[in-house]
Every structure is written in structure tokens, then in C-alpha cells.
Chains A and B, each alone.
Chain A
Amino acid sequence: MSEQHGPALVFRKFGLAHRRPDGEDVLLADVDLELPTHGFYAFVGASGGGKSSLLRILAGLVETREPAPKMSGELLAWGEPVTEEHPESLRDQVAAILQDEGLLDELTTRENVELALRAADRSPKLAAGLLAQVGLEHAPARPAQLSGGMRKRLAVARALAQSPRLLLCDEPTAGLDAEAARTIAKLLREAHDQDAQRTTLVITHDLDAFAGIADGVLVLDRQQRTLRLERRDYQPSPAENVRRSGAVQAGEPAAVHALRRLLLRLAAIGETVMESLRRLPPFELGLVLRTVARCVCEPILFVAIAGAVIGGLSTFFALKNNPVHGGFESSLLTGTGKVATAVLVPLLTGFFFTARMVAGAAARLGTMKRTNQIAALQTMGIRPADYLLTPLVWGMVVAMPLVTLAGVVAASAAGFLAARVVSGFTTVGWATAWFASVDPRDMLVVLAKTTLSGYLIAVTCYHLGTGPKRSGAEVGEAVNRAIVVGMALVLAVHAGLTFLVYA
């Protein structure tokens, strides 16, 4: 290929700045640099200097819901500009090993590699060979059981599954002792040498681990706000590691910045909704079916018991505390039956379902976001919506009516028992009165309410769960918000549809 010997990355007058409420934090300015293909580069520089940002730009992992870094000039990967939008042609050519590895906790060690292989249209059978290559042929089945070094190796194996032209690594030796770090460095070099076209860029603070391994050192000079390529035996001076203060320049006004954030958030909501509709056909059918089963099975007993308590108690007290003692019992039962089956139990089922399912799903998504699992999916070329949103939408849309059915049936059964105990109603007498004013239209309305609220809470859950997460606290905050917004949506749907149909 023509570009085989051309530069892998080209910076032309490239500038990079973080947008902050108090101004712009300029990281790079007027960078002119070419990184030749098939190089193995260690990437060093002071913390907060923009190494990870640059890596995320190259991997196409720029957060869309926050103001993006301000870029100027050109940054080309094999001649394709990556500054505007990450080109589709690069998606399966770039692999990234992120700082938290982003191993998918729900899959086994082997499935993590298989998923990457499938995403790259390669045979999942290659997984065994890749695991053997990184020395994980006898590794524990679950990623959670792996040690820090093993996790890095698994991440390497998964990255190699994509057979990328550009392999990006963010601190692969962080938290490892010198020996383990050296092993990982060697492993990366071996992987690099497998493919003559591969270019590897490794962010590190541990140049010793890569001594004699890297072909060159890419230095981000925070003082000069520039990038330069040094020889392989380069050692940074202590002064270069000091973050320069006062780098913030006046940028856009705070109000504009706030408006930009607000608009981005609104656009993100629209994007999530559009994504949920566009990706509705189940791409991962097995995953969708599993999610449906989980959404039905997990809350159903809880909701049935809650429904039984509501139906039983409301009937019991309606008949027991009847001001006209023993009078108008059929009428009371008719009222209770209508309220319970058509209004109260479906609404409360929505609440119970939200409390039981949304908390779990939002926490799971938030954690995935926080630990880079979602970013890992993206680098594998998988749309997170296919893998996370579509199953959730199907799961909740199917589960909500079924779970509501269980709640209504349990409430009716408990209502029957209460009516029998308090007033001695027979089965026929109870059924006549209980369902006297419940008609098929009510059931259709309940179906509409539950389906719509199921869809809305699934989208809410995904949207809030996959928003930017800088800390564990933000995960907790997102869970909280998902429950509150989910319940508000359930209430709004029930109130709105009830008003529309019955008022």
C-alpha cells in the first residue's frame, strides 16, 4: 500500500485547548510533527498535559455531551483528519487500551476477547490463541478474578483481536511492579512486531520499563506547548514534568460556555431518543432476550407481592371500614376493583418496577461508563446503543406490561380473599362486582401506559447512566436521578393517559 511507508500521524499547526468555565486551558499550540509508520513510541509528558486527551481524540472517544476540546490546525492519521469527526474508515483500524482497561465485567475472560473478534469480523475461535499469546491460557473465568497484571494482558489480547494498525495504550504499566511492567512492555513490543504495519503509541510515566523497547519517545512539552520526537534513550529533565501555572487564557464568556453545555445536554437527550428508535431492531438478539428475561424475572415476585398487599388491604379496609356497616358492599367492591386494576396497581407497579430495575440498570451503566467499559466497546467498533440501550428498551417495554399483569392478578386475588373473609363474597359474586366496571378499553389503556412508561424509563436509565462520569459519586448521583426522573415519567404517563382517555 502506498501509505505503508508514509507517516502514521501528521500534526500540522495543531493546537489543543480545554474549554473551561473560567477560560481556555491551552495544552498544545502550533505543533508540526510527523510520526513514521511502524514505530513503537513511548509518549511522555507532565500529568494533565493532554496526553490522554490526544489519545481519546485519536481513538474517537471524545465525550459528546460535554464541550469538546478546542482544536486548531490539522491532525491526520494516514491522511484522514480526525479533528472534526472520527472517520468511519479508522474505526476498525485503531485499538486502545485505556487506563481502567474497560474489561466487560458481565462477560467471561474469553468472551471479552471473543466479542472483540466478532466486532472485527474475525472468528471467535482465535480467542484461545490470543489468550495463550498474552500468557492467559489458564486465567480465571471472570475478569473480576484477574490480578492487575492479568487485566492488562487481557486488555492487550482484546486489543490485538482487532488487529489494529494503530495501537494506543494509556499507562499500561501503571500500578505494576517493575518486573510486571517490563513483562507488559515486552508483550506490547511482541504484539507490535507481529504486524509490519502496526504503529504503537504508549502513554507512560515509566520510561525504564520501555528502555530498549521503544523506537522513540514522543514528548509533550508542557512549557513550550508542543510535541517533539526524541530518540529512544531520552530521559526527561525534572523541569519538564512540572505543570506550568497560569496556562489558562481568556476564552468564550462563562454564559456562552453554560449555554453551550445546556444545548449539548438537550441535544444529547434528543440523540439518545433518536438512537433508541434507530437501533430498535435487535442487533444482539441473544442479549436482548436475556435482558427481557432479566427485566421480567427480577422484579415480578416483588411486584406481585406488593400488588397483593395493595389489592388485599384496599379491599379489606374498604369493606371493613364501610361507614354504612355491611351496606353497598357490591358497589364498594366495584369501585375498589376498578381503581385497583385500572389505575392504582398499574401506577404503583410502575413505581416498584422503576425502583427495582432502574436503580440496578443505571448503576450498572454508570459503572461501565466510569470504568471505561463503554469506551472499550466504542474502540471495538461496537455501538454502545446496540449493546446496552436496545436490550434495555426491549427488556423494559416487554417486561413492564407482564409485570403489571402479575401485579393486577395478585391484587385481584388478594382482593377476592379479603372480600371473602370480610363479607363472605362467593367467587362469582366477587367477580361480578370486582370487574363490573372494568372493560377491555381499561386494559388497553393499561397496556399503553405500561409500554410507554417502560420505554421512557429505559431511555432515561441509559441516558443518565452513560453520561460523563468523573467519579463514583457521579455514578450514585446518576442512579438517584434515574429513579426520580423514572418515577416522574411513570406518574406523568399515567396521569396524562388517564386524563386523555377518561376525562
Chain B
Amino acid sequence: MHRLRYLIGTLTLLAAIAGAFWMVRLLRNLDQLPGMALQVEFREARGLRAGADVRFRGVTVGTVRAVTIAKDGGKAVAHVVLQPHAAGHACVNSAFWIVTPRFAGLTDGATGLDTLVRDSYLAFHTPGERGSPLVAGSLLAGRERPPALAETEALEPVGHGDLLMSLLVPENHGLRAGSTVFFRGMPTGDVRSVELAPTGTHVEVTLRIARKHRQTVTDKSVFWVARPYVSGALFSGFTVGDVGSLLSPYVSYYSAPGVGAPVTDGYRAAARTSRPEAEPAAVPNEALRQTERAREPVADDVVTVAITYTAVERDTWSPDDPIHRQGNGLLFLDRAGRAIVVTARSLVDGAFTETDVFGGDPDVDEEQIKVQLAGGSVHRAGRVWVDPNGADLAALVLDDVPPDLICTPAAKLSFDAAGIAGAVELRASGPNGLPLAAEPQLPAAPGEKLGGAVCSGGRAVGILGARPEPVQVVPLANVPADLRPQ
């Protein structure tokens, strides 16, 4: 009994000493954490404390190790360690700022409200055009306020078929990127940017009108920037209108029904200084000259795209296996105007093809699907649908579709399973996205033509799959109705 007591006591003591050593080592190692150390200077630390998060796109990617005062006393310096995998996102043109609650007046609203109930944290943003990556130990100047909305890419992306036009106003009355555009009081689009014209004679406001509302804009439409107004007379009473613009200014327009012709992208219009009842202000005539006309999207045939799929299959007991596949897909617009790529599921779904050593579900991670169009541009794509019945068929949605996207017209698609009967030909794109010559018969092995469009009678009727047969025509009839064109 005594021996047991001494044994337990000694083991507990040893465990305690080992635990203490572990904690001391952990604390010492905190100063030598793996990752990239940076110093960011601010005029004021704004409640930033050691241990605060560093976030990139809202994800914690590092820690503030210490907040000190610069030697000369002129700045507060945040000592930051970015996790190794996130170090590449910090570039020389990245903007660092401290997220605290901020009220930027009535027009800009409030930001960082989460830090009312959480500790302040450090955030950074890297613009789309990245500079060269930062090196460890860099000393950066932090921003005292968050970058503007447009810089953080918080605006809705410009979708396929949206109207992009310029509105010229004599003077900006609080419009900013993100302000709303109204038609008959209904939001139809937003302001993309507000810039002073190079000549300084006016302000150019770029507007995006959503695809389904673009017909409301004609060459006879009247635009104005809403400002509160008072109308009426002493005896008839007063009316106060557009009060909402006091808080957030907006653009409004009006088109008389049946008047005017639809406009194309790049259309330029002059805005009045007030509602249409008021006298329109003068805009120099030369400013109204249209600078560029966008190409009309031309589509008269089956359009295929090149697809690259990369992922990593994680194994517990063996090194991770990288997955890299090249293939094809059929591009068209669905009823909501989204750019859909129908392809073979065996091409774009690692979990569908990979098998785990022990027969369980494979652990596929870091999936990335990229689609290269014939024009050479590369876009990210998301996998939105796979055939629930196990057919080798999947649908992708493209991100950031250019307004001038060329895709297969509805007339060139056949969602009828019976259409496969008869002679077929294979349409596919090369790895560069450019279409290859049509092949009169199916190849012996799919290779990089996996997911290519199988056509019959000039219309796409299916795609080239690899399951269950090595070469398989999967009919488009399996695609659900909401992913088909109208």
C-alpha cells in the first residue's frame, strides 16, 4: 500500500514536472513560432493586444505577438507572425489595418462592429494585382482606416449580360462604390466606381444594371442623383421627397415606356442635377461622345472549354497524393443567366474516383477547378451539381464571367435522351481553351477529351464520360431543369 502510494506520488510529480517543462517550452517557442514575422506600424494601437488575430479575408492566418512603441516614440508597432501557408498572401501592396468599431459618418456607415464585443484584431487585404511577396522581418506602414469598399472587393461581381454604362454628373453628392441605382423606386443595379473625369469638367460614375433590368435603360432615359427636395406651395402644403438620400445617396433614372432604343455596354449618359422637373445642368457635348462599343456576344455553335482539376488526397499513413487532371466541358447559360459547364464527374470530383486504402471515403482536400475559355481567360469554377444516380456527369458554375462570354446557344443543345441515336461526333477544346477540330467518332480512350461535347446532328446531346465504361456517352437529359437554358 505504501509502495503504491509512493509510486503514484512519484509518477504524479514526474508528470507535473514534465507538464511544467512543456509549458515553459511552449512559452519560449511562442517567440520562435514557424511562420513569417512582420512589423506593422500604426499611429495608434487602437486596443490591439498581444495574442490578437491577424485575418485575411476574414480567416485567422496569424497572431499579434506583441504591441510595442517604436524607439523614437512616434509609432505603435504590432509584431505579427503569419502562418506559413498564409505568408504568400501578404504582398508589398497589401494594406494592413486594425479592425475596431468605426462610424464613418452617415453615408459610409459603420464597420468593425464585431469588435464591439470582441478584441480588436489586425486585418490585411491584398489587391487582385498582387505585388511581390513580402519577406520575413519587413516593417510596413499600416493604414489608419480600412481601405474603401471597392478595394476589398465587397461589391457584387459583374454578371454575364449585365449592362455597364457611365453616368456623367456635374458634381458628386456623396455617391460611392456600392450606392444603389433605382428605377421607379426599385433597385436595378449599383454604382461601381466614382471618378473625376481627367479633364476635371465632370464626374464619371460607372453603373452596373442587372441583366434582367437592362431593358429599362434606353437612349431616352433620364438619370439624376437623388437629393431630398421640398415641393408645393404655402397654401397647398409641402411635400418632402427622396429623404432616404440624406442617409445614402443613390442614382435614379426614368424611361418613358416605348420610347427610345436599348443601349449597349459602354453607353454614356449625362445626369441632371435634380429630379426631371428641374432644369438639367449642362454637360459638355464632347463628354457625351461614346468612346468604345463592346462586341456583341456571338454564339452560333457548340462551345467547349478546357478544365483543369487539382486536389490533394490525404492519407493518414502515407504521403499525400496530389491529383491533377485535364479535360473538357460544355459551356452554356442556364435560365438564371449563370455560366454552366457540364462535364464528366470523374474529371472534377476527386472523391468520385479516388479510393481510400482501407476502403473508406477518401479525404480529398484543396480542390480547385479552373476553366479556360477560348479567349484564353482562366476562371474559377464551383461544382454545383453531380448526377445523383451515379452517372459520370457534373455541372460547374463559372466565377467572374466576363460580360462578353460566348457560349453554346440553347438551340444547339438537346436535352432529349433519344437524340443520341445515329452518328455522333466529338467536340472538344485543347489545353489552351481553343476548340479542336470535330472528330467524327469517339476516341478509344477519353484522355484530355474527357467531358467533351458529344454532338449528333449539329446539336450537343451528351458529354464524353469514363464511367462505368472507359468511354461512355452521358446524355444531357440527366441535367436537371433549373440548370438548363430557358
Contacts and interface: CB of A to CB of B under 8 A. Distances in A.
B246 interface: no
A427 B33 CA distance: 12
A324 interface: yes
B150 interface: no
Interface string B7-34: 0111011011101100100110010010
A406 B63 contact: no
A331 B119 contact: yes
Nearest to B115: A327
A330 B16 contact: no
Given A409-B23, A432-B51, A297 B13 contact: yes
B394 interface: no
Contact of A431 (B13, B15, B27, B49): B27
B117 interface: yes
Contacts of A427: 26
Interface stretch (A138-146, A258-266, A298-306, A491-499): A298-306
B50 interface: yes
Contacts of B16: 300, 304, 402, 405-406, 409-410
A402 B50 CA distance: 31
B49 A330 contact: yes
A301 B19 contact: no
A433 B65 CA distance: 11
B235 interface: no
A429 B83 CA distance: 13
B13 A296 contact: yes
Nearest to B21: A409
A409 B27 contact: no
Contacts of A328: 117-119
B311 interface: no
Provide the main secondary structure of the chain B interface: helix
Q: How many B residues are at the interface, by size bracket?
A: 20 to 34
B36 interface: no
Contacts of A304: 12, 15-16
Contacts of A408: 20
A405 B33 CA distance: 26
Q: Which of B9, B20, B50, B63 gathers the greatest number of chain A CB atoms within 10 Å? A: B9
A327 B5 CA distance: 44
Contacts of B33: 428
A409 B17 CA distance: 8
A339 interface: no
B52 interface: yes
Given A433-B51, A436-B50, A330 B13 contact: no
A408 B22 CA distance: 13
Given A327-B117, A402-B16, A436-B51, 16 more contacts: A293-B9, A294-B6, A296-B9, A296-B13, A300-B9, A300-B16, A327-B119, A328-B118, A409-B16, A410-B16, A410-B19, A427-B26, A431-B23, A431-B27, A432-B51, A433-B51
Interface of B: 5-6, 8-10, 12-13, 15-17, 19-20, 23, 26-27, 30, 33, 49-52, 63, 117-119
7 contacts: A294-B6, A300-B9, A300-B16, A334-B51, A412-B23, A432-B30, A436-B50
